[in-house]
Structure 1
Amino acid sequence: MGATRTSPARGRGGRERILAAAARLFAIQGINATGMEQVAEAAPVSKRTLYAHFRTKGDLVIGHLEDLASSGATLEGVLTRDDVPPRERILALFDLPAPDGAPVRGCPFIDAAAEYPDPGSAVHSYAREQKLRMVRLVTELVTELGCERPAALAEQLVTLADGAASRAMVLGDADYGRHARAAAETLLAHALPAGA
């Protein structure tokens, strides 16, 4: 009896495989250039299974963004880490993750909002919620550090972080955040009490 070839696992774990395949394809090709059939093939799952988990591509994109947000693998992820001091959490916003052979994509929430430009769309709304959450988290951290005008400083810092992520994507330079980090250090030095 000859050896039998087995196909990649199907059945259990379909949702996780779909999200993993979508994440890979979105990172390499972008959201709009990735079709649902490609995701099903890469997962691998049947189209029926794919649509049972995600009725529309928009649902898949939101599922992908939710998965990223809960994993802590986004710019915002470091902001909630209790094992890192507040100032270092803020500065870590500028340490963009190095891609594993994939193009530098910057912020997935900005990418998704750009690919779903209608502010009323579910994807754009979710991306906006995450960007507002980011500024709330930074506001909490600079408040904890003793900043007198935390909301204004937080807006400046997240604007720097988002700008650095966008420029890193356009220029294909995962280390681009170092420029914005230097500016953030200056902002913090001028806005925070000595020794914060």
Structure 2
Amino acid sequence: MSETPVRRAGRGGRERALSAASSLFARQGITATTMEDVAAAAPVSKRTLYAHFPTKEELVLAQLDGLLHSGYTLLDTLRRADLPPRDRLLALFVVPPRSDGAVRGCPFIQAAAEHPDPADRVHALAREQKLEMLTLVTSLLDELGVDEPESLAEQLVTLSDGAVSRAMVLDEPAYGRHARAAAEVLLEHALSSGARGA
């Protein structure tokens, strides 16, 4: 009679915990999710969870960092060399639903909202992501030859963040189309009347 293999404690525990945390944070929020919730959903023992993440803050930071390195963020889309700059800019207004069909909004905005102190490490990481987004958008506008790309970049990222937030509140993944329409007008105006050498 063959024995049932026994999984070693903690084997793959970090990855399972991060996956569970990502799902729970998106579904019910960071504050409402306890470390016990994450351990149960992973599943891992609380001892294993705390061995990898001594505090909930460490878990949140690791989960957000994992998102940043997943290859599937808006930042990754803005960096895609195989897409024209204009297409990358308009991708700011695509609000993809989760696999369960729900619209959850930007995890970095949500993390900053739940950690409102600007000195908080979670808030600081969210701010860094938003500043990197602004830098990438500014660079794309500069590549297109737009005069004063910094000003237009601020407008586009503000439209993008607003669209994502409203899409989440309204649970309407297509909501980004409204911000995209405004962004197209801004881009066309900048390219036709404000482009360098125009």
Normalising to structure 2: TM-score of the pair? 0.91
Deviation at 1:54, TM superposition (A): 1.2
1:91 matches 2:90: yes
Whether the 8 Å CA contact 1:75–1:96 is kept in 2: the answer is: no
Which piece of structure 1 moves more, 7-16 or 177-186?
A: 7-16
Partner deviation per Cα, 1:142-178 (whole Å, 9 max, x = no partner): 0001111100010000000000000011111111101
1:123 matches 2:122: yes
- Determine what percentage of the aligned residue pairs are the same residue: 63
Whether the 8 Å CA contact 2:18–2:63 is kept in 1: the answer is: yes
Output the CA distance in 2 between the equivalents of 1:62 and 1:32: 14
The alignment's C-alpha RMSD in Å is 2.0
Partner deviation per Cα, 1:12-52 (whole Å, 9 max, x = no partner): 22211111010111111111111101101111111121112
1:65 matches 2:64: yes
Normalising to structure 1: TM-score of the pair? 0.92
* 2:48 aligned partner: 49
**Secondary structure, in 3 states, of the residue corresponding to 1:175?**
helix
Output the CA distance in 1 between the equivalents of 2:9 and 2:101: 26
Q: For 1:1-196, what aligned pairs fall within 5 Å after superposition?
A: 10-101=9-100, 103-193=102-192
Whether the 8 Å CA contact 1:134–1:158 is kept in 2: the answer is: yes
Count, aligned residues: 194
Deviation at 1:58, TM superposition (A): 1.1
Which piece of structure 1 moves more, 69-78 or 30-39?
A: 69-78
Change (3 A) 1:99 1:8: farther
Output the CA distance in 2 between the equivalents of 1:40 and 1:71: 22
Change (3 A) 1:141 1:177: same
Output the CA distance in 2 between the equivalents of 1:91 and 1:8: 46
Which piece of structure 1 moves more, 7-16 or 150-159?
A: 7-16
Deviation at 1:65, TM superposition (A): 0.8
Q: Which runs of 5+ in 1 are unaligned?
A: none
Output the CA distance in 1 between the equivalents of 2:177 and 2:76: 18
Q: Which runs of 5+ in 2 are unaligned?
A: none
Output the CA distance in 1 between the equivalents of 2:91 and 2:188: 16
Superposed structure 1 runs of 4+ greater than 2 Å apart: 1-4, 6-12, 72-77
